[in-house]
Structure 1
């Protein structure tokens, strides 16, 4: 089978960008299989994702030529081999619904991931990790050990060469330094429809306000708590008869689905960060 690559890029908008990129690929024997682009008129930026097959040039050769091509256009670009699953590390605390869902989707071929490790501040899911043959790292966190634990977490992430870190209901606030180290490659699932009901016990807050919709938000992790670029959101309808426990159970299903979609789009290189927002080529 012909090697397939995914090119993502952003740059200042100008005439002829689609023609230039497609021409660059055609000259190198690239056969475009999928292409999408977006012009953000508010910022003057152009975004593009192209999936193409190419047998005439190696991955490294294409990267070298792309660097030369993109420089005059001030392009920020990345080239990925489609066949390469994304190396991933998952962080989790005591609630395992999102972790379990991701592991199942990965094992059944629904997510193009290579899950390299699970890190947790509790021991609850070491047997679940073992059943999927994934290394489990138990790193308890206290105020006194937080800095050392984060250093160990980052060491594991770097040793596994993780391209993606998923906070699958990891209930610790990451330090600014760790957030910066994971910029653009860490996804968190928030158990409410941001920006509403931030902080602790959002379903209690929602129930107290008598909401008619509850939801979940998957977003990139930044130093600003729960303010990172949003990748996906969804809601479920509720009414006055629902208890906090009902809202929590329904919310868990929504969280799992939202996080899975966000992880899938990221691992397929369909998400481009646009300031504090995202561009998603589905």
Structure 2
């Protein structure tokens, strides 16, 4: 069971919102309130997150989550995805371009796109404690390291014990996504595949994010046919939550530049 929430304005642009790993659909509320562009938005909780059913632990979690996103699309939609959610939106656009009107990708964590950069090499080295924690079965330490790698170790320590325990349990899902995000097992980076997507895309990255995140975002934007890359001033990896007004302003301006501010006419 996938939990969904209707947000925004029923008269607005059809949109589907995919949140970050360890997040939930309610995290979009402040961004939607800050947007001047009206969106008729469906936000959903990823498998194993929020009020959706737990992930069963078998199969391709990235594929299961992409299918959950696809199930929310009733007509060609604006997809907005943050972090892990951004990679789901990207996969959906490449697998079913007719279902997507345009995309906003906020730091999509397709790290494989930046595999030939110094930022990626440094990230792999910094990630070694995470891999070691998984190898020891120390999921609490894995969760702490995960937050540190995402630039928010203080947020981990500030959480309630119940919240930390919940996120510790969710750590098992990280390993199930590595083959797609780090090794590109789904071939999202296959030559010419992204370039063939010919609809508007806005790729955002926090100006203060750990370096591998903007590096991956820039690399994704460079491969897409009609993508713009823009930094969110003063923001880190969690820009839509920590800097909703700045993020919304960039999205609003892009919508106007690309004539996306009206529903497409039918017939």
Same-fold call, TM > 0.5? no
Determine which structure has the larger helix proportion and give its number. 2
Structure ranking higher on relative contact order (CA contacts 8 Å, 6+ apart): 2
Determine which structure has the larger strand proportion and give its number. 1
Q: What interval of TM-score do these two structures reach, taking the shorter chain for normalisation?
A: 0.3 to 0.5
Structure having the higher Rg: 1
